[in-house]
Amino acid sequence: MDLLVATNKEDTVGYGDDHYTKEVTELIKQQCNNDNIDVYLFVGGTPANIAFLKQALRPHQGVLCASFGHINCHEAGAIEATGHKVLPLKCGQEGKITADQVEAAWLDHYTDGNQMHMVQPAGVYISQTTETGAIYSKKELMDLSQECKKRELFLYLDGARLGYALSSKDNDVSLEDLAHLTDGFYIGGTKCGALIGEAMVLVNDKYKKDFFYIVKQDGALLAKGRLAALQFKGLLTNNVYTKICGKANEYGQQIATTLKANGFTMFADSPTNQQFVVFDNKRLKEFEKKYNFAFWANKDENNTIIRICTSWSTKKEDVKELLKDISESK
């Protein structure tokens, strides 16, 4: 965080955009061990997703994704607003999809004699971590990547919470892997410690041409690129990115352990900072007085699935207090 404060001060000195943006591009190329990538800084995750998918899809095409996928659920129809159908694949509670599901969807489309009456699947969208906090293993990503290549589908990874994945205890995927296995992905800043900004990494040459026009058209271009660039310079130096996210994961795991030890049912198994758990509504009312939870879904009449989310800014004392309250809540 000190790095962020230091660069924050620099803001007011007013260095040129180019300087910082180029520096961040270099940093990302190094950490991806890949010189043949393009980097663009975005104001947020939704505009990043819009831009990549707008770039990659032709008018009659749609994108496969987990039914829990952010683009399917929580972007207010942003993808459809660009004219494209989101093609959800039924996912388990971990929010992941498999290479087999992708193959089945592809076969479904092309074995129908009337495929021209249906939206053509052109690529696959996944999230790392998923929307319920799970992560894809390297093996799973390799399978997805291979299937996509076989079917001429792109593989795009939404990394809004990538920091929490990279720093998770179960993780075996590196930035270098992503810059090899996907056609494009973004490194999330906003949800991982930055004031603003997501760093899009274009891997496949096919999607690089004229990308800047698309970004501008969507109004996703930061007039002052250095604002985001400074954030990423801070995050990507000395492992700040994984350090601060790792801390949040640690809190997340402590909370999960305590919840389970106290008989709570977890909705999904998450090795990261987000924990989805079933609360009976009475107890929920009590906790809501003191803590901020996100509503996820009604389980039944008497129980609700909620999301408990720690972040880089979560305080140790607050976690302790929560653990204590959970233990005493029965």
Judged by CB under 8 A, does residue 196 bind a copy of itself? yes
Residue 211, SS3? helix
Distance in Å, CB of 217 to a copy of itself, minimum: 4
| Rg of the chain over all Cα atoms, to the nearest angstrom | 20
Give bridge partners of residue 40 from the DSSP assignment: 200
Edge-to-edge order in the sheet of strand 274-280: 274-280, 303-309, 294-298
Cα–Cα distance, 46 to 118 (Å, whole number): 26
Judged by CB under 8 A, does residue 254 bind a copy of itself? no
Task: Give me the phi and psi of 236, to 5 degrees please.
Answer: -95, 5
For the chain, the straight-line distance linking the first and the last C-alpha, in angstroms and rounded, comes to 37
C-beta of 118 vs 142, nearer to a copy of itself = 118
C-beta of 32 vs 71, nearer to a copy of itself = 71
Q: Which of 35, 152, 210, 317 binds a copy of itself (CB under 8 A)?
A: 210
Judged by CB under 8 A, does residue 218 bind a copy of itself? yes
Judged by CB under 8 A, does residue 112 bind a copy of itself? yes
Segment 270 to 309, residues that bind a copy of itself, using CB under 8 A: 294-295
Cα–Cα distance, 265 to 246 (Å, whole number): 24
Site string for a copy of itself, 34-63 (x = CB under 8 A): ---------xxxxxxxx---xx--xxx-x-
Q: Which of 20, 84, 270, 279 binds a copy of itself (CB under 8 A)?
A: 84
Cα–Cα distance, 322 to 219 (Å, whole number): 41
Task: With CB under 8 A as the rule, give the number of residues binding a copy of itself.
Answer: 64
**Rounded to the nearest 5 degrees, what angle is found at the Cα of 327, between the Cα atoms of 308 and 317?**
60
Residues forming contacts to a copy of itself in the complex (CB under 8 A) are 1, 4-5, 8-9, 11-12, 14, 43-50, 54-55, 58-60, 62, 73-78, 80-86, 112-114, 116-120, 190-191, 195-196, 210, 212-214, 216-224, 227, 294-295, 313
